[in-house]
Structure 1
Amino acid sequence: LVTIVAVNQTGGDIPLSQLYAPNSKIPASGSANLTDYNRVEEILGDTSDLGRGATLEYHPDPNLLVAKTKDAPSATLDCSVGVVAGGTSDIPIAEEARIIAAESGLDVVRAYDVGVAGLHRLFPPLKEMILRDVDLLIVVAGMEGALPSVVKGLIDVPVIGVPTSVGYGYRGGESALIAMLNSCVPGLLVTNIDNGFGAAAAAYAICSRMMKKREE
């Protein structure tokens, strides 16, 4: 899997949907986020082709490489996103969503290992997110995929559910995906299996639209 995403090109709007080839250089006016499983060692070993004194930060769990030029502006949006993971095996997908959302300028609050197997663990971090007035949540879960429905039933903001292929779920996450798609809770959106990137992109799109409307 190779996904290269340009961010912070203008310090304002961030085109998360704009993809670059695996050997892309950082755009001349900004920086880039890379999830490049196959080329991580190569890129970490030689940064000369990135130009402009780029700095690199590699996150091993989601295989995410963040490359920035020294003078890249930091984009910020007045929008807060909660990222919730059911179990520790779901964390790499949750981290992919969290890092990309944060690099896109969103304020991110996270809570991991708070799945339905021990539901009491969910309430303190969810209360904190409510008090912080998060605008939406990304909820990552495998197995039977119940957590996004539970969270959405407790909070009145949009929830993006991300099914994962980990755990004992049927056929690599299909059971979690089907459970989320068949949820009776209104306001639950669902990405495909293991698509933390897609959840972050959707969160950014929602937040940027909200900011535009607020400015009007």
Structure 2
Amino acid sequence: MRDTLEALDAGEIGVAEAESRLTGYATTKAGRFDAAREHRRGIPEAILAEGKTPAEVAALTATAVETTGRALVTRASDDDAAAIRTEVDGGVIGRSTDASPAVDHDERTGTVVVHAADFDPPSFDATVAVVEAGTADSAVAGEAAVVAREIGATVDRVDDVGVANLDRILDQRDRIREADVVVVAAGREGALPTVVAGLVAAPVIALPVSTGYGVGGEGVAALEGALQSCSVLTTVNVDAGFVAGAQAGLIARAVDAARET
């Protein structure tokens, strides 16, 4: 505690970082940021932009970078990303001793990742394959990929292999079998996760996507199909890319730890 107070008094750290060291979170006008989540759960705290103003998203992003060295924003709009870039360009987001942070905005996935110049991204020896049935599923699949990558896994994207033509998935099965854990994103009837789970030995996480229409549309059929899968797999909620990516990342980390023993 004394070291933290002395660093604050010397101007080496800000109030938000001092609070996060002492309590595990930092208080902002936009809410409390859980700076200790990664140490506690192995998953970086994510800022859900949905339901927040761009100014609130930018403020929380600044706090995340100050306290943890990075920020992971999900469901971000172009306005959210613009607000974050404005804060970076204005020197609001960053640390007192480093250059401008790196900002990666993926418009399709709705994610914004900000790394301070001195941030050392985690990395371990395990691969997550993120498999998507079709282009309409890529936004949700991409969110899962970003999250797994931020946790430290190597991510292999396998795109457009839906069951409308089984040859598309069969000619990628050897590649998918090399992964330590597999996330499969599919909408419509959601058959792809069951097919993949019958082809690989690794754990499979079904990620239903809200594509489709009519009876069973908006991801309902995909979710129910995954829950009734005759191939063994785990299922997350509709469009829950963050959850799928986080679970895959945790499994991949455990695989890496087992390899080191």
What's the TM-score, normalizing by structure 2? 0.72
After superposition, the C-alpha distances for 1:149-187 in whole angstroms (9 at most, x for unaligned) are 00001111110000000133624111110000011112x
Q: Matched residue of 1:127: which SS? A: helix
Identify the match of residue 172 of structure 1 among 197, 218, 228. 218
Q: Per the alignment, in what secondary structure is the counterpart of residue 207 of structure 1?
A: helix
Cα-Cα RMSD: 2.4
1:31 offset after TM fit, Å?
A: 1.4
For 1:192, what is the secondary structure of its paired residue? coil
Q: From 162, 185, 193, give the equivalent of 1:115.
A: 162
CA gap 1:89/1:36 in 2 versus in 1, 3 angstroms: closer
* Counterpart for residue 103 of structure 2: 56
Matched, 1:30 2:73: no
Amino acid at match of 2:82: E
Distance 1:62 1:84, change over 3 A: same
Residue 41 of structure 1 is matched in structure 2 by 82
The 1:6/1:178 distance shift into structure 2, 3 A limit, reads farther
Equivalent pairs counted in the alignment come to: 207
Q: Which amino acid aligns with 1:56?
A: V
Larger RCO, structures 1/2 (Cα 8 Å, 6+ apart): 1
User: Which of structures 1 and 2 has the bigger CA Rg?
Assistant: 2
**Greater share of helix:** 2
Give SS of 1:117's match.
Answer: coil
Q: Does 1:104 align with 2:151?
A: yes
* Cα distance change of structure 1 residues 18 and 90 upon mapping to structure 2, 3 Å threshold: same
Preserved CA contact (<8 Å) 1:14 1:104: no
Distance 1:126 1:119, change over 3 A: same
In the alignment, the residues of structure 1 paired with residue 201 and residue 104 of structure 2 have an alpha-carbon distance, to the nearest angstrom, of 35
Gaps of 5+ in 1: none
Distance, in Å, in 2 between the alignment partners of 1:113 and 1:6 is 37
| 2:33 is the alignment partner of 1:18 | no
Distance 1:43 1:178, change over 3 A: same
**CA distance in 1: counterparts of 2:118 and 2:44, whole angstroms:** 23
Measure the CA separation in 2 of the matches of 1:108 and 1:193: 21
Q: How does 1:79-94 map to 2 (within 5 A)?
A: 79-94=126-141
2:103–2:112: 8 Å Cα contact kept in structure 1?
A: yes
- Call closer, same or farther: CA 1:128–1:211 in 2, change over 3 Å: closer
CA contact (8 A) 2:94 2:101 kept: yes
Which residue does the alignment assign to 1:158?
A: 203
